[in-house]
Chain A
Amino acid sequence: QVQLVQSGAEVKKPGASVKVSCEASGYSFTRYAIHWVRQAPGQRLEWMGWINTGDGRTKYSQKFQGRVTITRDSRASTAYIEVRRLTSEDTAVYFCARSRPTVTLFEYWGQGTLVTVSS
């Protein structure tokens, strides 16, 4: 069955960077895009960006452009998101999600990774 397993919770200081991983199994990794969606406490879900796992092309929400990088390691069937210059407003649960081939809705989700930014 399709599974997306994310790395564990992180605590970071303001100004630091964090990198969260998302390991996929149960399907052909390079056939489906991986997206990253975050949810700050009590807030709505917020789409951050996605990666074409086949060729590595990425697209980001303008809000995160220049501060976020999404990559993948096809051999490890793993996608990553790195967020730099963290502030307290980046405290959130970060989810990876697999979309369908032709439409950007999120069929399978990772369990979420809590990133806490605190001095």
Chain B
Amino acid sequence: DIQMTQSPSTLSASIGDRVTITCRASQSISGWLAWYQQKPGKAPKLLISEASSLESGVPSRFSGSGYGTEFTLTISSLQPDDFATYYCQQYNSYLYTFGQGTKLEIK
């Protein structure tokens, strides 16, 4: 199974900050990585597919990059609505696995 590891697990930041979340895969997944945002009591929302393709309707302050085993999600200027938990997910191979999540908190 491919293990997905995110860092940090918790991130405290302020409105307007630029933040970056990292996701590492235990083996190469090419560019088959998605990022989701989840708010308490809600289902995850797909933000980015294929490592860097922004989904329709997702604000352009979100961006993704990476290939192989290391990936990043960047929010260029934090807005109040962005405080949530973020998960990466690999879909390179069966047993589609998620990272443990990064909780983005208000500083």
| A residues in contact (CB < 8 Å) with B | 35, 44-47, 59, 61-62, 95, 97, 103-107, 109-112
Contact = CB atoms under 8 A, between A and B. Distances in A.
B97 to A, nearest CB: 7
A57 to B, nearest CB: 14
A107 B46 contact: yes
A15 B101 CA distance: 31
A111 B87 CA distance: 17
Contacts of A44: 87, 98-101
B: interface residue count bin: 20 to 34
Contacts of A62: 95
B98 A45 contact: yes
Contacts of B100: 44
A106 B98 contact: no
Interface string B80-107: 0000000101010011111111000000
Contact of B44 (A35, A46, A103, A106): A106
B43 A111 contact: yes
B98 to A, nearest CB: 4
Given A103-B32, A105-B49, A105-B91, A47 B96 contact: yes
Interface of B: 32, 34, 36, 42-46, 49, 87, 89, 91, 94-101
Nearest to A4: B43
Contacts, number: 45
19 contacts: A44-B99, A44-B100, A44-B101, A45-B87, A45-B89, A46-B98, A47-B95, A47-B96, A47-B97, A47-B98, A59-B94, A95-B44, A97-B43, A103-B91, A106-B34, A106-B46, A106-B89, A111-B43, A112-B43
Contacts of A107: 46
A110 to B, nearest CB: 7
A45 B44 contact: yes
Contacts of A106: 34, 36, 44, 46, 89
